[in-house]
Structure 1
Amino acid sequence: MKSISGLGGVGAIAGVFLLRGNLKVTNGVAWFSAFYWMYRVFSTVIGVVVFQDQDLWMTQFRLYPILNTVSWSFTGVLAIYLPWLYFQLRHPQILAALRSSGMKALPPISAWVGGAGFAVILSVLIYLVLSSADAAEALQRAKQQLGPNYTYRLTSMGWSGSQVEATVTAYNRTTIKTIDVEWTK
């Protein structure tokens, strides 16, 4: 029998406690929903404005319409569910019950700021990686493998000592390929 693990498992357990009326879980779930909501909003906006390659997105949508529709639908559902959950847990009756039980009922400002801040910090780190000399080297190595008939986009990069490993997405109007490159500095 597999154990429940990960964020989904924690969410399911927290949901059971909430359904049973456990007020101790309320503040934690409200905090996390606010944090994750802000993180998703900021990372989505920054990702679309700064990082998203529109041509790649259109190619992905053209080649894999169902997968992209499901992905964007999930994002849309999450964008509706998280604020709904937050406002349900911040309902005046729940806040009054928290106060009467001697618990804090303050708005989770740290969650709002933390979620937005985490998205911004992560985006800055991604930008630094994408504009590094190693990123340019990875793109060049991928281009040497497939040639000039593709547009190249760095997907991931990792370092282990002097070893560099990167994944590059190569695409044109009809094809998307993934290329793994590695080298030693």
Structure 2
Amino acid sequence: MYKYRAILKRVGIVLIAVGILDIAYWIYCISQGQSYSSIFNIPAVVAGVFLFRGSLRAVPLVTWVAAFMLSNLVSDFILLPFLKPAELWAIEFRLDAIALCRSLLLTIILIALHCWIYTQLRAAPVVSASVRSGHSASTPKLAFILGVALVVLPVGMMHFIRGGATGAKAVEVARTQYGEGYKYHLTGMGWYWPNEVHASLTAYNEHEIKPVQVQWKQRSK
């Protein structure tokens, strides 16, 4: 009867530990003037406390988030080779292999963590206890769908834009402003009323990689 409580307590301890570590790293980044964002820190600690106390009410929400993040991270990891040109990946690895490997390792760890959380909260004792208590115990299909969609759709849109006139214009403007000594990879676009276009690009050559921003007025038709 109380086996589900042991599972919730185990997941709660992990979430609290991860949340505390994330808060500590967040504070460190602030003290160093570095930007940092995460879905863990305080929400993870709060969710962990509820699960540690055996709250079945928190199970559907945490399961939903774990399913969303799992599908999102896996989709992102699968599409990773297509997010940048092979040449840019090679230059990143040559200039700072440690940072690149650390980023990939962190993604793998997060995938494993969310997979573990999801499988723990979908274990038979937890599902049975949730049903008996009148809480939702269904598979969070929408979370999986949204997790994939929020990766695939933006990547597909950016691929389409890069191959079109707007993408070519962004590279042209960047080349005018930052010179011919770089190659340019479009990473983001924004349209602002009435006819202003902003673009984010990565400028790179054999010795340097840097983010750049450009903007221009789009001619009215």
Letter paired with 2:47: A
Q: Residue 143 of structure 1 is aligned with which of 175, 182, 188? A: 175
Task: Name the counterpart of 1:123.
Answer: 155
Q: Is the 8 A contact 2:51 2:59 kept in 1?
A: yes
**CA–CA distance in 2 between the matches of 1:165 and 1:90?**
44
**CA–CA distance in 2 between the matches of 1:104 and 1:181?**
48
The correspondence of residues 28-107 of structure 1 with structure 2, limited to 5 A, is 28-48=61-81, 50-107=82-139
The percent identity for this pair of structures is 33
Distance 1:110 1:177, change over 3 A: closer
- Deviation string 1:97-124 (CA, Å, 9 cap, x unpaired) is 1122122322222222232233222322
Give the TM-score, by structure 1 length: 0.86
Q: Is the 8 A contact 1:152 1:171 kept in 2?
A: yes
* Aligned structure 1 segments of 4 or more residues deviating by more than 6 angstroms: none
Question: Highest relative contact order (Cα 8 Å, sep 6+), 1 or 2?
Answer: 1
Report the Cα offset of residue 6 of structure 1: 6.8
Q: Residue 134 of structure 1 is aligned with which of 148, 162, 166? A: 166
Report the Cα offset of residue 37 of structure 1: 0.7
Report the Cα offset of residue 146 of structure 1: 4.1
SS at match of 2:50: helix
Q: What stretches of structure 2 of length at least 5 have no aligned partner?
A: 1-36
Letter paired with 1:142: A
Task: Name the counterpart of 1:16.
Answer: 49
Question: What is the root-mean-square deviation of aligned Cα atoms in Å?
Answer: 2.1
SS at match of 1:170: strand
Q: Which moved more, 1:128-137 or 1:77-86?
A: 128-137
- Deviation string 1:27-86 (CA, Å, 9 cap, x unpaired) is 1111111111111111322242x3321211121122122322221111010111111010
Q: Is the 8 A contact 2:66 2:114 kept in 1?
A: yes
Letter paired with 1:68: L
Q: Is the 8 A contact 1:43 1:123 kept in 2?
A: no
Give the TM-score, by structure 2 length: 0.73
SS at match of 1:7: coil
Letter paired with 2:75: F
Task: Name the counterpart of 2:30.
Answer: none
SS at match of 2:135: coil
**CA–CA distance in 1 between the matches of 2:211 and 2:141?**
41
Letter paired with 2:70: W
- Deviation string 1:148-168 (CA, Å, 9 cap, x unpaired) is 443211122222121122222
Task: Name the counterpart of 2:209.
Answer: 176
Q: Which moved more, 1:115-124 or 1:22-31?
A: 115-124
Report the Cα offset of residue 22 of structure 1: 0.7
Q: What stretches of structure 1 of length at least 5 have no aligned partner?
A: none
Distance 1:13 1:126, change over 3 A: farther
Aligned length: 180
Letter paired with 2:62: V
